[in-house]
Structure 1
Amino acid sequence: MPEMNSPTSKPKLLVVVGPTASGKTALSISLAQAFNGEVINSDSRLFYRGVDIGTAKPSEEDLAAVPHHLIDFLEPEDPFGLADYLDSVREIAAKVMTRRALPVLAGGAGQYVWGFLEGWNVPRVAPNAELRAELEGVAQDEGIEAVFARLEELDPEAAERIDSRNVRRVIRAIEVAQAGGNTGPRRAEETPYDALIIGLKLGRERLYARIDARIDGMLMAGWVDEVRQMVQRGVPTNAPAMTGIGYRELAGYLAGERTYSDAVHATRRATRNLARHQGNWF
C-alpha cells in the first residue's frame, strides 16, 4: 500500500460499494485488517440504535475486528441528512488519516458515497414539519408516486437523481426546493481524494437468492420482535430508523393492517427494487 499521507498527494482511501446483500461488510473488514484500515459506514440505516436485525448491522465480532465509525450513534427519531453525514465523514476520515490508518468507506448509499468522494457542498434547509406531515399524508393516501410527481414539477433535475421509492428523500428534496434552495449539491472542482473504488456485482438471480436467504435469516433471528419493541417504545413508523425496508411492512403486520405473508412479500420486493437501483447508481 502506498504512503498514506504524502504532502504532495491527495489523501488516499478505499471505497467498497455495491447493492444490498452483495458482501460489502465482509470485504470492507477484510481490507481494513489487511491495510491497517478503519471502516466508515455510509449506510444510513446503520446510524440508528435499536434496528439491528433488519439492517444487517455488523455483529459484535465484526465491530471488534477493526475500528468502525458512524454505526449506532443516533436515536430512532434523530434527523441526520446528507449534509450532516458529509460533515461527519470528512471529520472522521481526517482523524483516521492522522493515525496513519486507511479510511475504508463502505455502504450502498450512492449519494452519501459520491457526495464524500466528490466534495459536495449540500444546501442546508431547516426541516418543515407542516410540509412533511402534508406530504406523508399524500404518500399514505395517494401513494409515493403522487409525492414524486410534485418533485418532478418543482425540480426535475433532483427527481432524476433521487430514488422515486424513497419517500423520505423525495420529501426532503421537495422541502429544499420549496424553500428556494437548490437541491443539486455543488461539487468541488477537483475530487479531493485519491480513492480506489471496489464495486461488487453479482448476477441478478444469485443476488436475489442472497437477498431472500438474508431476509429469511433475519426473520428467524427475531426481526418481528425487534419491530415490536420499537413500536412498543412509541417510535413512530415515520421515524428515520423505521424507514428502512421491512420495518414499516412488519409494523403494518403487527398493527393488523396486512398479513404476515404480505409483509414478507412486500419486503422481498422492495429489497430487490433497492438492489436494482443501487446497481444502476454505481
Structure 2
Amino acid sequence: MDSRPIYPIIAGPTASGKSDLAIQVAKAMGGEVVSADSMQIYDTVHIGTARPLISEMQEVPHHLLGFLPLNEKYSVARYMEDASAVFADVLSRGRLPVMCGGTGLYIQSFMENRQLLEQADNAELRARLLQRAESESGQVLLEELAAIDAATASRLHPNDVHRIVRALEVYYSTGRTMAQQEELSHACPSPYVGCLIVLNFRDRDVLYRRIEQRVDRMLDSGLLEEARTVLMQSKDATVLQAIGYKELLPYLEGKISLEQAVQDLKIQTRHYAKRQLSWFRRMTAAATLYVDEYEDHAALTQAAISAYNDFVRRLRDGNNEER
C-alpha cells in the first residue's frame, strides 16, 4: 500500500476560479494553500497577477506569494526547493498542502519530482542579448530563436523579450534547446502523491467572458497604476513580461491608445488560457471539473473534495497506478 502523503492540486486556466476553490477546499479539509504561480511570487504586484486578497489569505494560510523582489530571477528548480520546504512544514503541523496555480511547468515538475539539469547562467551573454533586443527588436531575436528552437519560439511573442533571451542563453551556453534540456531532466520517486484536479469549461465562451470581466475589474482596481509603479521601480522586472503588464507598456510609453492596450490584453489573456488548458490536457488528471456545469461554488467545492477522496481511496486500495 502506498503510504505517501496525498495532496490535492487545483489547476486550470486564468479566471477559472481556482484560487477561490482552493481556499474552500483548504478550509474544509484543514489545509493550507501552496501557490504554483510564476508571477504571484513577486512583491508589489497584486492586481495584475490576481493574487488572493489579504482577507482571503487570513481565512486560510497561503505560501509562496509575494516573497520575491521584482528584480530577482526565479527558476523551476528554485520553486521545487521552496515548495518542498513548505510541504514539509505544513505536513509536520498535521495540515494538508493544497497546491493551486496555473503554471503547468511548476505543477508538473513538482508532481514528478523532476531532477533538472543545472541551468545555464551567463550574465555577460544575457546582457549582450538584452542590448540586442533593445537595439534590433524582440522580433529579430525571436526569428533567431526560431531558426534553432522552433518549438520554444512558437510559444513566444516578440514582446516576451526575457523569455526569448533566456532560451537563446540556454542554447548558446549549453548547445541544447529548452526542449532538450527538459528531455534530459528526469523524474524521480516523489515523497508525495499529487491528485490533479483541473478546472475547465464546456462552453469556452463562458471562460472568455470571465476573462474579459476580470480584466475590466483589474483596470477598475488600479492595474494601470500598478504597472506604472513596476516600470518606475525596475524596467528589467520579469513581471513586466507577464500578461497583464506587457500589453500595457506600449500605452504607458505613449505608443498606442488605452483602448488598443485593453483590447490586446484581453486577446492575449484568452490565448494564455488556451495554452494553459493545452498543458493540463497533456497531464494525467484525477478529475476534470467543468465549472459551468455546477450551479454554485458549494457544489463545485464538494465535487473537488469528492474527487480527492475517491483518488485517495483508489490509491490506498492499490487500484491506482503509482505516480
State the shift of 1:145 in Å. Answer: 5.9
- Corresponding position: 1:188 with 2:187: yes
SS for the counterpart of 1:174 is helix
Q: Distance in 1 between matches of 2:218 and 2:171?
A: 38
Match of 2:106 among 97, 112, 126: 112
Q: 1:73 and 1:20, CA in 2 relative to 1: closer, same or farther beyond 3 A?
A: same
State the shift of 1:128 in Å. Answer: 2.6
- Cα deviations across residues 97-119 of structure 1 (Å, max 9, x unaligned)? 11111111110001000000001
**Alignment-mate amino acid for residue 18 of structure 2:** K
Q: Which residue of 2 aligns with 1:3?
A: none
Q: Which residue of 2 aligns with 1:159?
A: 152
State the shift of 1:248 in Å. Answer: 2.3
- Cα deviations across residues 237-270 of structure 1 (Å, max 9, x unaligned)? x311222212122232122121111111111111
SS for the counterpart of 1:15 is strand
Q: 1:26 and 1:146, CA in 2 relative to 1: closer, same or farther beyond 3 A?
A: same
Report the more deviating stretch, 271-280 or 183-192.
183-192
Decide which structure has the larger Cα Rg and report it: 2
Q: Distance in 1 between matches of 2:122 and 2:161?
A: 15
Gaps of 5+ in 1: 1-5
State the shift of 1:189 in Å. Answer: 4.2
The question of whether the paired residues in 1 share the 8 Å contact of 2:36 and 2:103 is answered with yes
Q: Which residue of 1 aligns with 2:24?
A: 30
Superposed counterparts of 1:31-180, under 5 Å: 31-136=25-130, 146-154=140-148, 159=152, 163-165=155-157, 166-180=160-174
Q: 1:150 and 1:116, CA in 2 relative to 1: closer, same or farther beyond 3 A?
A: farther
Q: 1:147 and 1:11, CA in 2 relative to 1: closer, same or farther beyond 3 A?
A: farther
Report the more deviating stretch, 18-27 or 115-124.
115-124
**Alignment-mate amino acid for residue 82 of structure 1:** V
- Corresponding position: 1:227 with 2:220: no
- How many pairs were matched up? 272
Provide the identity percentage.
Answer: 36
State the shift of 1:132 in Å. Answer: 2.8
Gaps of 5+ in 2: 281-323
State the TM-score, normalized to the length of structure 2. Answer: 0.76
- Corresponding position: 1:269 with 2:261: no
Q: 1:140 and 1:108, CA in 2 relative to 1: closer, same or farther beyond 3 A?
A: farther
Q: 1:254 and 1:173, CA in 2 relative to 1: closer, same or farther beyond 3 A?
A: closer
Q: Distance in 1 between matches of 2:276 and 2:139?
A: 19
The question of whether the paired residues in 2 share the 8 Å contact of 1:24 and 1:107 is answered with yes
The question of whether the paired residues in 1 share the 8 Å contact of 2:114 and 2:185 is answered with yes
Q: Distance in 2 between matches of 1:171 and 1:81?
A: 15
State the TM-score, normalized to the length of structure 1. Answer: 0.87
- Cα deviations across residues 208-258 of structure 1 (Å, max 9, x unaligned)? 1000000001111111111222233x310x311222212122232122121
Compute the RMSD of aligned alpha carbons.
Answer: 2.4
